[in-house]
């Protein structure tokens, strides 16, 4: 295939394949070491039961947080060791965070596999410079990058060896607060298929080359230039972004991002760890760190309960009730009850794709209708017993005004199936007003273990009931019914990527009353104001290619409900869309995988 077109495809392809064209550092310690699970004090004989003893804040970040400084011996060997373990462990249990203290590192190539995060520990990316590369490629999958999920890079400056860093990723692989002193190549070696991706608060001095990347969202960044586009390239608040030109080239460009607040991050102040909380910006453009210290506040690690895998949900809730924030170190956490976030301003920050598995059908995380909660950097993996919901932001009927200090959900990913059978009726529910969902991938698995139309049943991906919610970088795929159902007023989405469920057995299985199929993105009939920019939906009904999907998008026909730059694609002719939105837009046809587009609606 050519570098800029994914249309040429081999005849025999799997599901996701079609898409897209002793050098361990000393663990960081602050304060009192935190046990894996602090047990409540036993009741004294013959007396009333005492309250659990207070949990300490701070502590050891654990064996899977590997901290380097420029004098650490054998850094490359340790990086290679982690990569060999994680390169193809798509549904494995390993989780790692690779953290670099401020300074300069020479001659490194940090290759990142699954569930691996790399980050600098300065306040600015330029505090930690790697003369070398942070690489994602696709040799493990024969040059196909469409399954390069669940990895991240943050808060580093890179000086690539050959002038260009390679970051060939798919979903759930954010590139945040990075400074590339050169170019950035978003495709794998050989320009194979790729299906990403997300950049935020980053500066790329040279050219960004997406090549075979089908879609990409870049927010509040600065780039030297942008090379090409395949189907859907969206920019908001990006200095140097190409001009608006959808559908040819397929660029959707907004000068600013209406509201944004960057993800919390761990950093060092002297020898002490802190978590920085960037402030909210309105009409944001460019990076937050370009003029010295970023604006915001910070918290010492002593105000966090540093959780380790094996800790109980009861202990996590005790920590929250005592006023601590949560830092989830890398690993897998089984929950027999919901994590209850009830206090305004609470931070729940995961490292190295910390993974929450709700057991017995519980909801993994529930957030009260309070100001300023920040959820970031973790994965929720559905359990085998159906959960009604996996993540709830605000209770049903939440109505408080949070415009001054919204809740943010950033790099929080949801998976149903793939690592084993999982079920959830609805994955993510947003009830609180003014919530910002900034980069999520909510995925009903189309490959891996525990996959089948009923085996990993999940009817709805994201349901938004709250008013004034903003989504920036919304990836939702393969749900049995609506992938996104938006009932709140004044909602906005900048960039949406979707695939309908591949495995529908027949037309009847997806029939929605008189309508053929459930829309990928449905705006509720009672909504009077809503707006979206750069939204795409793809179908690949490989079990039954005769299935017809009436449209990718459905919305009430009102002047206040507006869409800009929509597309639908039938991948290789496996299934068909009759329209793009409602009854508007040309049908997809043939096997050429050419998008059908609508520039403005209504």
The per-residue pLDDT for range 265-304, each reduced to its tens digit, is: 999 999 999 999 999 999 999 999 988 778 999 999 999 9
Residue 61 has pLDDT above 60, yes or no: yes
Residue 146 has pLDDT above 60, yes or no: yes
Q: Is 227 left (phi over 0), alpha (psi -120 to 50) or beta?
A: alpha
Average pLDDT along the chain: 92
Residue 14 has pLDDT above 60, yes or no: no
Stretch 133-146: mean pLDDT: 98
For 325-339, the pLDDT digits (tens) are: 999 999 999 999 999
Q: Which range has the worst mean pLDDT, 16-20, 86-90, 498-502?
A: 16-20
Question: DSSP letters along 58-103, please?
Answer: B----TTEEEE-TT-TTHHHHHHHHHHHHTT-TT-S--EEEEE-SE
pTM for the full model? 0.92
Q: Which residue's entry shows tokens 């949990």?
A: 55
Element (H, E) at 599: strand 596-601
Q: Which residue's entry shows tokens 């980069």?
A: 439
For 440-450, the pLDDT digits (tens) are: 999 999 999 99
Residue 179 has pLDDT above 50, yes or no: yes
Which three-class secondary structure state does DSSP give residue 347? Answer: strand
| pLDDT > 90 in the chain, percent | 89
For 182-230, the pLDDT digits (tens) are: 999 999 999 999 998 999 999 999 999 999 999 999 999 999 999 999 9
Which three-class secondary structure state does DSSP give residue 500? Answer: coil
Q: Which residue's entry shows tokens 């027949």?
A: 506
Residue 35 has pLDDT above 70, yes or no: no
Of residues 446, 514, 457, the one with CA closest to residue 480: 457
pLDDT, residue 290, reads: 87
pLDDT, residue 50, reads: 54
User: Which residues are known to be catalytic?
Assistant: 499
Residue 49 has pLDDT above 90, yes or no: no
pLDDT, residue 52, reads: 66
Radius of gyration of the chain (CA): 23
């Amino acid at each position: 295939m050519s570098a800029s077109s994914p249309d040429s495809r081999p005849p025999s392809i799997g599901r996701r394949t079609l898409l897209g064209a002793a050098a361990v550092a000393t663990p960081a310690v602050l304060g009192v070491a935190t046990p894996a699970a602090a047990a409540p004090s036993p009741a004294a004989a013959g007396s009333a039961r005492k309250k659990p003893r207070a949990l300490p804040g701070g502590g050891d970040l654990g064996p899977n947080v590997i901290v380097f400084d420029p004098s650490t011996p054998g850094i490359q060997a340790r990086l290679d060791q982690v990569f060999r373990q994680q390169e193809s462990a798509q549904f494995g249990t390993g989780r790692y965070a690779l953290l670099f203290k401020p300074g300069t590192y020479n001659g490194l190539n940090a290759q990142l596999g699954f569930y691996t995060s790399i980050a600098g520990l300065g306040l600015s990316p330029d505090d930690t410079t790697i003369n070398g590369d942070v690489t994602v490629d696709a040799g493990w999958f024969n040059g196909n990058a469409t399954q390069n999920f669940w990895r991240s890079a943050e808060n580093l400056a890179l000086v690539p060896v050959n002038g260009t860093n390679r970051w060939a990723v798919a979903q759930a692989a954010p590139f945040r607060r990075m400074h590339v002193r050169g170019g950035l190549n978003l495709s794998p070696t050989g320009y194979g298929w790729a299906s990403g991706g997300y950049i935020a608060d980053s500066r790329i001095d040279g050219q960004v080359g997406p090549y075979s990347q089908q879609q990409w969202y870049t927010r509040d960044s600065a780039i030297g230039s942008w090379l090409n586009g395949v189907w859907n390239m969206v920019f908001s608040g990006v200095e140097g972004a190409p001009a608006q030109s959808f559908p040819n080239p397929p660029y959707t460009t907004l000068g600013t991002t209406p509201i944004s607040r960057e993800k919390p991050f761990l950093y060092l102040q002297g020898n002490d760890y802190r978590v920085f909380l960037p402030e909210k910006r309105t009409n944001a453009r460019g990076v937050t760190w370009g003029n010295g210290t970023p604006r915001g506040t910070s918290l010492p690690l002593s105000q966090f309960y540093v959780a380790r895998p094996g800790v109980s949900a009861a202990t996590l809730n005790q920590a929250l009730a005592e006023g601590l924030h949560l830092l989830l170190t890398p690993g897998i956490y089984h929950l027999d009850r919901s994590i209850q976030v009830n206090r305004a301003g609470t931070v729940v920050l995961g490292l190295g794709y910390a993974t929450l598995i709700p057991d017995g059908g519980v909801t993994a995380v529930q957030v009260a209708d309070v100001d300023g909660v920040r959820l970031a950097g973790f994965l929720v993996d559905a359990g085998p017993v159906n959960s009604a919901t996996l993540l709830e932001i605000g209770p049903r009927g939440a109505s408080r005004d949070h415009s001054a200090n919204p809740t943010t959900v950033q790099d929080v990913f949801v998976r149903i199936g793939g690592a084993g059978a999982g079920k959830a009726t609805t994955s993510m529910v947003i009830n609180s007003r003014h919530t910002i969902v900034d980069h999520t991938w909510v995925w009903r698995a189309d490959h891996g273990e525990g996959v089948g139309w009923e085996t990993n049943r999940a009817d709805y991906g994201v349901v938004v009931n709250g008013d004034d919610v903003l989504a920036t970088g919304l990836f939702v795929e393969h749900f049995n019914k609506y992938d996104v159902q938006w009932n709140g007023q004044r909602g906005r989405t900048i960039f949406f990527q979707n695939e309908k469920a591949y495995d529908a057995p027949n037309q009847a299985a997806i029939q929605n009353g008189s309508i053929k199929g459930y829309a990928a993105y449905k705006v509720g009939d009672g909504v009077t104001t809503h707006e979206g920019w750069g939204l795409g939906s793809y179908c690949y009904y490989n079990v039954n290619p005769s299935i017809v999907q009436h449209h990718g998008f459905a919305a009430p026909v009102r002047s206040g409900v507006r869409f800009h730059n929509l597309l639908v694609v039938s991948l290789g002719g496996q299934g068909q869309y009759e329209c793009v939105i409602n009854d508007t837009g040309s049908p997809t046809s043939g096997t050429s995988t050419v998008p059908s587009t609508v520039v403005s609606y209504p």
